[in-house]
Structure 1
Amino acid sequence: MEEKKVVNAIDALLDENNTDNITIYDENDKPYEFEQIAIIPHKERLFAILKAIEDKEANNDYAYVFELKDGEDDPMLELIDDDALIDEVFNEYYKLLKEDK
């Protein structure tokens, strides 16, 4: 999964009252449905942690990290594949979880 075309997913992610699953599309317009886990601000960038519904149904506990970016025409979600950056985003997520307790 490379860059994703977003259809109202950015608005859904940024709406703190929205807990519905979101659908994002790959470069071939194939849809993928995700459960929203968290929006994480990190180093003046904004990331989304999402869990694929197909993975959830397969009992796979893997979450994906996407960066919210301004595309040429529309906002985009870009899948992050840099392990160090993924670790940083998850560390921020864990800090936020501790603060909420």
Structure 2
Amino acid sequence: MRLPKRIKRFVVAYDVCVKDDSYVEKRNSAKRRTKIMRVLYDYGIRTQLSVFEVVLKSRQYEELIERVEKILRKETDKVYIYPIDAGSESKIVRLGKEINILGDMFL
């Protein structure tokens, strides 16, 4: 999927669910959650426990989706990728503790 040039920033939220209360299921869900978190750290910064802000080029956007789909259990887990267009980007308001800036990724 090709993205319009004006869209480069995204908010990614995920929810990894547990099917039952068995030890094995809880452990497997925790592993999936950790793997998804590590993938998202490759593209941006964590703003909440299961929310990341990422800056992507079209190629990276497709790569991110492919990587997450390999980990995701489609019957129970959810990942939402919300685009932030250039017009909305200038209106982002961040309150509270300042986000740790990594290079010029988040100007």
TM-score (normalizing by structure 1): 0.28
Highest RCO, 1 vs 2 (Cα 8 Å, sep ≥ 6): 2
Q: Which has the larger radius of gyration?
A: 2
Give the TM-score, by structure 2 length.
0.27
Larger strand fraction of residues: 1
Give 1 or 2: higher helix fraction.
2
